[in-house]
Amino acid sequence: MDPLNRDTFFHKDNELFTTVDGVLTPVKTLIGSSEKPIYIYSKSCIEKRINAYKLAFKEKAAHIHYAVKANSNLEVLKFIKSLGVGADVVSIGEFNRALEAGFKASEIIFSGVGKTKLEIKEALTKGCRQLNCESLSEFRRIGELSKALKIKAYVGVRINPDITVETHPYIATGFRENKFGVPLKQISELVELAKSFKESVEWVGLSCHIGSQIMTTDPLVLASQALVNTAKDLKSYGIEIKSLDVGGGLGVDYQDDDESKDLKSIQAFGEKVCHVLKDFSGEVCLEPGRSIVARSGLLLARVEYVKTNGFKNFIVLNTGMHHLMRPSLYQAYHKIVPIDFNSARKLETFDVVGPICESSDVLGHDRSFYRPHEEEWVAILDAGAYGMSMASAYNHHEFPGEILM
């Protein structure tokens, strides 16, 4: 186990530090007298990644719509809004959360595969920028509701291009077996449906999101090409597509401490996609989430017990799968480091576990640790995305605190 050496969080003189408003700050000072776990998020880390997206897609002057599902903390949303981006939401709850954070309805794209009638009505009434439709049935529902409300609906159709990606099957969304999007073979049917609702629905865009935690740009480029090809096909039907939404999905290497690689991946993604879209004259949108906020976050947790059962060693924390579900749900990896780094202690192998009454409540298997003392604190890294936003009240444990630095 080596000291952490990253841009955002790092060990200095055997203590975990970060930078707050340009001032070197020990992470332990952010804990204060707290007895419960705490999520902390770094503004500078978030801003750096949003700026990287702006630079990578400057050729197409792309509209960035942050995927609220990744982290919906109100202060985080307010900060992201202040950086001049829009929002992408998948429920009316997220829609209203974005409004509360200061986003205008005209800056919000409403995605999601299962929108209810009430959600669609509210989004239309409040002036949503675009409803991303995922099926023929949903298009019909939007058409009927917009006609009844006498409100024009601006719709983007999410296509399913049948592209396989190397990611966890739970977060792959662009293969023919997935529930998401309209299969390309149904586009002609959708055209006929759109014609029947031409007075109440304007089909303005196409979108494509093939999955999350995608580590290579190749499938994302293929998906963008599928958008371009579909837009050309629709033109032959008399439908002029004004906007292409290339989705998000760019991954983060949770095992690599070199944060600069994230920025290089964003740049490569932008350059390749802009090349594919070079002849498209309309607007370009994208919906990054994880790649903006994942690295910004730590989940700080206290060691409650250090346990040995004669077969295995355990570090038992006051946080677990109820606060950070990813390891249990996706077998995801998060690096875990001590707040105080003490290499004078014995180096041993531990499972890092939580208090939940489930054997799946493991945050890290077989981790090397200099044996911690009970009531010391550790930091679970890269927890800014899909951490607190997926947290639950299972076993009626208290939710963690949250701090935006």
Q: What is the mean pLDDT of residues 267-276?
A: 93
pLDDT at 16 over 60: yes
pLDDT at 1: 83
The answer as to whether 83 is a domain residue is: no
Q: What is the SS3 assignment for the chain? A: CCCCECCCEEEECCEEEEEECCEEEECHHHHCCCCCCEEEECHHHHHHHHHHHHHHCHHHCCEEEEEHHHCCCHHHHHHHHHCCCEEEECCHHHHHHHHHCCCCHHHEEECCCCCCHHHHHHHHHHCCCEEEECCHHHHHHHHHHHHHHCCCEEEEEEEECCCCCCCCHHHECCCCCCCCCEEHHHHHHHHHHHHHCCCCEEEEEEECCCECCECCCHHHHHHHHHHHHHHHHHHHCCCCCCEEECCCCECCCCCCCCCHHHHHHHHHHHHHHHHHCCCCCCEEEECCCHHHHHHHEEEEEEEEEEEECCCCEEEEECCCCCCCCHHHHHCCCCCEEECECCCCCCEEEEEEECCCCCCCCEEEEEEEEECCCCCCEEEECCCCCCCHHHCCCHHHCCCCEEEEC
pLDDT at 179: 52
Using one digit for the tens of pLDDT, what is the confidence trace for 67-115?
A: 999 999 999 999 999 999 999 999 999 999 999 999 999 999 999 988 9
Percent of the chain with pLDDT over 90: 80
Last residue of a domain, one of 253, 286, 319: 286
The answer as to whether 305 is a domain residue is: yes
Contact 390, 41 (CB under 8 A): no
pLDDT at 164: 58
Instruction: Determine the structural domain holding residue 318 and report its residue range.
Output: 9-42+295-404
Residue 13 burial class via C-beta count within 10 angstroms: exposed 0-12, middle 13-18, buried 19 and up: exposed
**Residue 158: which CATH number?**
3.20.20.10
pLDDT at 213 over 90: no
Residues 26 and 149 in one domain: no
Residues 226 and 180 in one domain: yes
Please state, rounded to an integer, the average pLDDT across all residues of the chain. 92
The answer as to whether 48 is a domain residue is: no
Residues 14 and 137 in one domain: no
pLDDT at 167: 46
**Residue 334: which CATH number?**
2.40.37.10
Active site residue ranges? 357
Residues 279 and 354 in one domain: no
Q: What is the mean pLDDT of residues 211-224?
A: 82
Q: How confident is the model at residue 66 (pLDDT cuts 50, 70, 90)?
A: very high
Residues 197 and 235 in one domain: yes
> What is the token pair recorded at 42?
């770094």
What are the φ/ψ torsions at residue 119 (nearest 5 degrees)?
A: -65, -45
Using one digit for the tens of pLDDT, what is the confidence trace for 288-316?
A: 999 999 999 999 999 999 999 889 999 99
Q: How confident is the model at residue 203 (pLDDT cuts 50, 70, 90)?
A: very high
Q: 111-115, 249-253, 270-274, 348-352: which has the minimum mean pLDDT? A: 249-253
Q: What is the mean pLDDT of residues 327-334?
A: 93
Residues 196 and 252 in one domain: yes
Shortest CA distance to 142 belongs to which of 88, 210, 196, 66? 196
* Residue of higher predicted confidence among 144 and 160: 144
pLDDT at 117 over 80: yes
Residues 236 and 322 in one domain: no
Q: How confident is the model at residue 163 (pLDDT cuts 50, 70, 90)?
A: low
Q: Residue 208's Cα: distance from chain center in Å? A: 15
